[in-house]
């Protein structure tokens, strides 16, 4: 995920970075996720723009995770436009506000741009707080424990007392 500025030159380079399961595990250990079958790719172009380097691309693919409502697998589709500005700096750890433009500049040193940390940030930003297997997932019934996507139940609609009564009524029949 590293690019040397001497390779970028004045022409710029096409970039295509695959996010692997191993990378995701190492870089985002807090995420219990892996790339879906099609994988995740950052594709775009890295070009020189004056003293800076501009990356324009798209982070696309899918992440496999777990639905927060029904706990079944859920796939998060990613299609995130990414625009990043890099600038060489002898002391890249010093954060400086770019006063001309209000955009964030990412500093690098020794002529090497590493897009890895930026991919991690973009991924984390793109994730919803509570991933769902589908928008209208019915979730798990807190009363009977059924996955309501597969086994609709009417527990929630009835007060607890009436449920018991209904069960008794069935038994008598
Ligand atoms: Zn679900
Ligand atoms: Zn139920």
Are residues 112 and 44 part of one domain? yes
Shortest-distance ligand to the CA of residue 74:
1
Query: Do 25 and 107 share a domain, yes or no?
Result: yes
133 and 151 housed in the same domain: no
- Ligand 1 center from residue 127 Cα (angstroms): 16
Structural domain count, the chain: 2
pLDDT digits (tens, 9 = 90+) for 42-70: 999 999 999 999 999 999 999 998 999 99
What's residue 169's pLDDT? 52
Q: Ligand 2 center to residue 63 CA distance, Å?
A: 30
Q: Looking at the structure, do residues 117 and 85 belong to the same domain, yes or no?
A: yes
Instruction: For residue 96, name the pLDDT band (cuts at 50, 70, 90).
Output: low
Give, in order, the Cα–Cα distances in Å from 48 to each of 15, 55, 63. 14, 9, 31
Spell out the residues 6+ positions from residue 26 whose beta carbon is closer than 8 angstroms to its own: none
Share of the chain above pLDDT 90, in %: 55
Question: Which of the four pLDDT bands, split at 50, 70 and 90, describes residue 127?
Answer: confident
Q: Do residue 163 and residue 106 come from a single domain?
A: no
Q: What is the pLDDT of residue 58?
A: 96
Mean pLDDT value across residues 89-96: 66
Same-domain pairing of 14 and 84: yes
Q: Which ligand places an atom closest to the C-alpha of 73?
A: 1
User: pLDDT value at position 40?
Assistant: 94
pTM equals 0.72
Look at residue 118 and tell me whether its pLDDT is greater than 80. Answer: yes
Is the pLDDT at 77 greater than 80? The verdict is yes
Query: Could you tell me the distance, in angstroms and rounded to a whole number, from the CA of residue 172 to the centre of ligand 1?
Result: 36
pLDDT attached to residue 130: 85
The torsion angles phi and psi of 18, rounded to 5 degrees, stand at -90, 130
Task: For residues 111 and 170, state if they share a domain.
Answer: no
DSSP 2: E
Tell whether 173 and 107 lie within a shared domain.
Answer: no
Cα–Cα dist 160/140, whole Å: 17
Query: What's the pLDDT score for residue 141?
Result: 93
Residues 125, 142: one domain? no
> Could you tell me the residue range of the domain that residue 144 belongs to?
138-173
Beta bridge partners of 42: 17, 59
Mean pLDDT of 98-112: 77
């Amino acid at each position: 995920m590293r690019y040397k500025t001497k390779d970028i030159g004045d022409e710029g380079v096409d970039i295509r970075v695959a996010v692997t399961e191993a990378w995701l595990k190492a870089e985002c250990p807090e995420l219990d996720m892996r790339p879906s079958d099609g994988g995740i790719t950052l594709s775009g172009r890295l070009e020189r723009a004056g003293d800076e380097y501009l990356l324009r691309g798209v982070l696309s693919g899918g992440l496999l995770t777990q639905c927060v409502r029904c706990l079944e697998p859920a796939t998060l589709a990613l299609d995130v436009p990414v625009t990043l500005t890099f600038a060489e700096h002898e002391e890249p750890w010093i954060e400086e506000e770019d006063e001309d433009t209000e955009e964030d500049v990412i500093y690098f040193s020794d002529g090497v741009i590493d897009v890895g940390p930026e991919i991690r940030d973009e991924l984390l930003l793109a994730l919803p707080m509570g991933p769902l297997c589908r928008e209208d997932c019915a979730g798990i019934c807190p009363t009977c424990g059924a996955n309501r996507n597969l086994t609709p139940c009417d527990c929630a609609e009835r007060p607890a007392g009436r449920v018991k009564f209904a069960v008794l009524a069935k038994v008598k029949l």
